[in-house]
Amino acid sequence: MQRRELILKLIQETPGINLSSLMKKTGMETGVITYYLNQLEKQGIIKSQKATKHRRYYHSSVLEEEYPIIRNIRKPTKKQILFKIIVEGKPSFKELTLKIDKSPSTLSWNLSELIDEGIIEKHMQNGKEYYRVKNIELLKKTFQKEFSKLFDESLGHAEDIFLAL
């Protein structure tokens, strides 16, 4: 397989991949990968976005509104939080701390990141604070379109539960 096709295949299989991950998976040098990335982007085949410290690469068929979901669902704790929110409905912080085996500070930080990315939101009900997915249809569509390969055996049947929603 040619270098260009290999890079494109990895981007299609792993939307949101960054340069260092491409280097690890291909064994190619930075300059070589950068050359092909620039070429693919100029041709409109891929798009990139600088998020936090890394530039991430997506096939042009991926919608920009899906980028935050793609970036965050790759992170195990955030993926776990999202599944719990979906399955539980509108859990409180306390309910999440009981269901997710992470320290409250770790959970709080990850929830804040998901809120900042616009994936979840806090809302008040009867004087109590809860979390919910901001755009469940977008999340479901993105999962179904891009992420069936991201589910691992440790989640059991969580994929089936989610896709049934």
Q: What average pLDDT is seen over the chain?
A: 87
SS3 per-residue string spanning 89-115: CCCCHHHHHHHCCCCHHHHHHHHHHHH
Q: Do 139 and 82 contact (CB within 8 A), yes or no?
A: yes
11 has a pLDDT exceeding 70: yes
Amino acid 141: pLDDT: 84
Supply the pTM of this predicted model: 0.77
CATH topology of domain 3-61: Arc Repressor Mutant, subunit A (1.10.10)
Same fold for the pair 3-61 and 63-164: yes
Residue 52 has pLDDT above 50, yes or no: yes
Does 153 score more than 50 pLDDT? no
Helix (H, G, I), strand (E, B) or coil at 87: helix
Residue 148: predicted pLDDT: 59
Residue 158, pLDDT > 70, answer no
- Average pLDDT for residues 98-112, to the nearest whole number? 94
CATH 3.40.50.11810 fits domain 63-164: no
The residue ranges of every structural domain in the chain are 3-61, 63-164
